Structure 1
Amino acid sequence: MNLPERVGNRIRELRKAKGWTQEQLAEAASLHYSYIGGVERGDRNISLETLEKIIAAFQVPAIEIFRFEENTDHRKAIDEHIALISSRSAEEIAAITKINKEVIAAMEIRLNQD
């Protein structure tokens, strides 16, 4: 699989994690929906400016576009988490992180009791 296909697949994964249609992503990135389809299929050789628009629409760090791990349930769950918190403020993300740490600690305690 070539780089445009891998990037396109990753954009599709992030779009689905956000629960967006191609049309919704296109609107958020100020692009045409048919263009998004071509990008996701790897048919389009997109510019860095266009990639920047897509990254800004997702509100994720640019590195997320280049995470080419296997498309596993684990990766999908992480993508959904990123999609949920990406538009939150730094203070809200810190609060969510604190809560997550407490939940994980409670889960570990329970696992050690079983």
Structure 2
Amino acid sequence: MNLPESVGNRIRELRKAKGWTQEQLAEAASLHYSYIGGVERGDRNISLETLEKIIAAFQVPAIEIFRFEDESDRRKVLDEHMILISDRSIEEIVALTKINREVIVTLDISGRKDTN
């Protein structure tokens, strides 16, 4: 595994899930856009301070930068969902979680009815 390349790919995935260009990520992280391109290609050996700026720009838990074992469509959809709620207040996130839980319970109940 090439860690700089894997981290760069993951940063690209999160950036695209947020619908940002490299320029937008660079601005949010107070970095130069050409630097972001080098990071995404794995050409740059970034410092922890720079990684911290990128994580803060995305407003995601740091562990999200290292979730590159699953490159599936499922991961991309989960990333998009996480990005959508990441800048919400804790109260809004709690409300959205309750709504999601109710929807999932309803889906589970509907799925059981279909198999009977």
How many residues are matched?
114
Percent sequence identity over aligned pairs = 81
The secondary structure found in structure 1 opposite 2:57 is helix
The secondary structure found in structure 2 opposite 1:20 is coil
Q: Which runs of 5+ in 1 are unaligned?
A: none
User: Match of 2:23?
Assistant: 23
Q: Deviations over 1:22-59 (max 9, x none)?
A: 11100100111110000000000001110000000000
Query: Runs (4+) of structure 1 moved beyond 2 Å?
Result: none
User: Match of 2:52?
Assistant: 52
Q: Deviations over 1:74-97 (max 9, x none)?
A: 100110011001111111110000
Q: Distance in 2 between matches of 1:105 and 1:37?
A: 42
Deviation at 1:70, TM superposition (A): 2.3
Name the TM-score, length of structure 1 as normaliser. Answer: 0.97
Name the TM-score, length of structure 2 as normaliser. Answer: 0.96
Q: Distance in 1 between matches of 2:13 and 2:100?
A: 23
Q: Distance in 2 between matches of 1:70 and 1:82?
A: 16
Deviation at 1:2, TM superposition (A): 0.7
Which amino acid in the other structure matches residue 83 of structure 1?
Answer: I
Give matches, 1:35-114, under 5 Å.
Answer: 35-114=35-114
Q: Distance in 2 between matches of 1:57 and 1:113?
A: 44
Which amino acid in the other structure matches residue 69 of structure 1?
Answer: E
Calculate the aligned-residue CA RMSD, in Å: 0.7
Deviation at 1:69, TM superposition (A): 1.9
Q: Which runs of 5+ in 2 are unaligned?
A: none
